[in-house]
Amino acid sequence: MRILLKMVIDCDSDAAWRALHSPRAVGELYGPLVDLTPLETTGLPTTWAPGADIPVQLSALGGIPIGRQFIHISERETASAHGPVRILRDSGIPLTGPLASLDVWDHQMAVSPAPGDPTKTLWRDRLVIGGPTALALWPVLWATWQWRAARIRALAPTWAHDPASEPTEVDAGHA
């Protein structure tokens, strides 16, 4: 079973790509509904890196444990007519809780320059699930992904690396 998102968001694709690699930014996509807490004492990494294997505790609504998940990160790049398409993949698996009944968890997020406006990003998100409870869990995950889409749209403008700034007095004096 699949859940798909496709939307144009208000940041460039480099900023979206950096956000996908940020555990903090990714955690904000689910907030305040779901929190990610690292199971390792070293905490979450500052960036998700290819080959990373990260166990996390998922909690809902401020602390109700809903399961543990193993996150495994990989990435690849392909090309489109509008520029590079960068894909981050989490092929980890739920370990405990209701989602642990799934035996397939394949979450891929692709970012590329938006057609006709390279200052924006075409964001594609695909979750493939399988297992004995996939049909029962699909509506809950679909609703979670709709929340996630709204959060992506709301947070994307904050992902800019170098926000526009006004010239300093030194710059103005040399104009």
What are 101-111's pLDDT values in tens digits? 999 999 999 99
Q: Kindly state the DSSP code that residue 43 receives in the 8-state scheme.
A: -
List all residues 6 or more positions away from 86 whose beta carbon is below 8 Å from its beta carbon: 13, 17, 75, 76, 77, 110, 111, 112
168 pLDDT higher than 70 = no
Average pLDDT over residues 111-120: 95
Q: Report if residue 162 sits inside a domain.
A: no
Q: Is 131 exposed, middle or buried (0-12, 13-18, 19+ CB in 10 A)?
A: middle
Confidence of residue 161 (pLDDT cuts 50, 70, 90): low
Q: Report if residue 161 sits inside a domain.
A: no
Q: Report if residue 173 sits inside a domain.
A: no
| Inter-CA distances, 76 with 9, 144, 169, Å | 21, 25, 44
When divided into structural domains, the chain yields a total of 1
Partner residues linked to 5 by β-bridges: 125
Q: Report if residue 167 sits inside a domain.
A: no
Q: Report if residue 169 sits inside a domain.
A: no
Q: Kindly state the DSSP code that residue 148 receives in the 8-state scheme.
A: H
Beta-strand pair 64-80/53-60: antiparallel
19 pLDDT higher than 70 = yes
- Which residue range(s) make up the domain with 58? 2-156
Q: Report if residue 174 sits inside a domain.
A: no
Q: What is the CATH number of the domain that holds 44?
A: 3.30.530.20
